[in-house]
Amino acid sequence: MSKLWAKKGSKINTIIEAYTVNEDYLLDNQLMPYDIQATKAHAKGLESIGILTKEELKKIISRLGALEKLWKSGKVKIKVTDEDCHTVIENFLSGKLRTTGKKIHTGRSRNDQVLTAIRLYMKDNLKKIKKEAKKVAKHFLEFAIEHQNVPMPGYTHTQQAMLSSVGHYFCAYFESLIDDISFLDAVHSQIDSNPLGSAAGYGTSLLLDRELTTKELKFKNIQINSLYCQNSRGKFESLYLEALSQIMFSLSRFANDLILFTSQEFDFFKVKNTLVTGSSIMPQKRNLDGMEILRGKTHIVTSNQSLIKDICKNLISGYHRDLQLIKKPLFESTEIVLQSLDIADLYLKGIKPKEKSIAKKISHEIYMADLATDLAKQKKIPFRTAYKQAHKKIAKYKPDPKENIKSKISLGAPGNLDIHYYKSRLRKI
């Protein structure tokens, strides 16, 4: 298809074309539905200021609907020679609608088109991720409630520290994810402003109906300064990636723990056969590759955020083609987070604590801090003095592990998990 910027009698060098387009024509399949949606809004805006007639608008909207169907069924494809989805849309409209179709680019640039499409993509995916994350969080909480009183060592420095419980661990994963969900909302609200109408970054002499397009596209705000609209490309994506990284931090903490706690040395959890892989040479192996890949992919998401920041941090104000390179890490990270939430959920459904096996691993010294606290309380002596006496008294100190858990009554400790509060947080998000 012809380029929107093609000049008569000159053709771009095919090597330069392939290099600059690279895989963008494939990546733009992710943006196509959003760009169609934004193009419909732009067309409505043009009609409201008299650039398009009602009849022309109707034709454009219907052609855009047809394009979406054809693209979904694979009958319309974005090709290298198209460069991007924006070109496909415009050429499709001007192909059949001729003059009417050619009017669509009045008052807009591919620069604000891509910004708008990406922003709609991010908003949509933040919602999808939130829904998935909420489901997984709920399952963490259910697991915590079901195994609330199963004692399990708590560690610092990978050394046994104090007695914890399965409920305590899983409430920690839950609360972490719930915080991440609040952060998804915060990012959603921060990026919820409409850049459409900023054109190439410097506005236009038309009094575009930016309020109308904002309403049409369900943005909360209008992003006002047309140059800032351009300058926010990459800035908003890096915020989005921060929200995604937070989710990966939570999930990879769970993955890491599970990998360690299912090793022979620990043997704290039973894992369903369908969730483990084997070895080609060692018949006994039951590996948690899913959790390992999730842990590894966390690095991809965090480095994608750095990549996005690096791409845009030293650019002067305004659009640059470099910004195109932000799409790949953005889309890749979204896919990773959505898949990882599913994977974490599968493991969550396929594991069970092995209470007896865990009990065998609880060292007697794990109660030292509790003993010192008890001594300080009973004898009304300074904790530091009790701490020194604990070594001598530990041999005779034999608490029941379940009672010990119950005795940890400080808010958020194993004996006071505050499940009611968690349930209400879950309901509110």
List the catalytic residues: 157, 279
Q: How far is the CB of 127 from ligand ARG (least distance, A)?
A: 23
Question: Would you call 14 exposed, middle or buried from its count of C-beta atoms within 10 A (0-12, 13-18, 19+)?
Answer: exposed
Contact between 323 and ligand ARG by CB under 6 A: the answer reads: yes
Q: How far is the CB of 114 from ligand ARG (least distance, A)?
A: 4
Q: Among 37, 213, 262, 324, which residue sits at the site for ligand ARG (rule: CB under 6 A)?
A: 324
Q: Rounded to the nearest 5 degrees, what angle is found at the Cα of 251, between the Cα atoms of 246 and 255?
A: 145
User: Is 4 or 276 the residue whose CB approaches ligand ARG more closely?
Assistant: 4
User: Is 251 or 326 the residue whose CB approaches ligand ARG more closely?
Assistant: 326
Q: How far is the CB of 281 from ligand ARG (least distance, A)?
A: 47
User: Is 24 or 209 the residue whose CB approaches ligand ARG more closely?
Assistant: 24
User: Is 21 or 338 the residue whose CB approaches ligand ARG more closely?
Assistant: 21
Q: Number of residues in contact with ligand ARG, rule: CB under 6 A?
A: 9
Q: How far is the CB of 193 from ligand ARG (least distance, A)?
A: 19
User: Is 18 or 66 the residue whose CB approaches ligand ARG more closely?
Assistant: 18
User: Is 34 or 347 the residue whose CB approaches ligand ARG more closely?
Assistant: 34
User: Is 20 or 277 the residue whose CB approaches ligand ARG more closely?
Assistant: 20
Separation of alpha carbons 138 and 178, rounded Å? 9
Interaction with ligand ARG in 10-29: which residues (CB under 6 A)?
Answer: 24
Interaction with ligand ARG in 60-99: which residues (CB under 6 A)?
Answer: 84
Sole window of 204-212, 214-222, 273-281, 320-328 interacting with ligand ARG (rule: CB under 6 A): 320-328
Interaction with ligand ARG in 101-130: which residues (CB under 6 A)?
Answer: 110-111, 114
Sole window of 92-100, 234-242, 316-324, 380-388 interacting with ligand ARG (rule: CB under 6 A): 316-324
Interaction with ligand ARG in 28-57: which residues (CB under 6 A)?
Answer: none
Q: Is 383:377 a contact under the CB 8 Å cutoff?
A: no
Q: How far is the CB of 333 from ligand ARG (least distance, A)?
A: 17
Interaction with ligand ARG in 165-224: which residues (CB under 6 A)?
Answer: none
Sole window of 132-140, 294-302, 318-326, 400-408 interacting with ligand ARG (rule: CB under 6 A): 318-326
| Count of Cβ atoms closer than 10 Å to residue 35 Cβ | 25
Sole window of 176-184, 210-218, 319-327, 374-382 interacting with ligand ARG (rule: CB under 6 A): 319-327
Residue nearest to ligand ARG (CB): 324
Q: Among 268, 319, 347, 422, which residue sits at the site for ligand ARG (rule: CB under 6 A)?
A: 319
Q: How far is the CB of 327 from ligand ARG (least distance, A)?
A: 6
Q: How far is the CB of 113 from ligand ARG (least distance, A)?
A: 7
Question: Would you call 228 exposed, middle or buried from its count of C-beta atoms within 10 A (0-12, 13-18, 19+)?
Answer: middle
Q: Which residues bind ligand ARG (CB under 6 A)?
A: 24, 84, 110-111, 114, 319, 321, 323-324
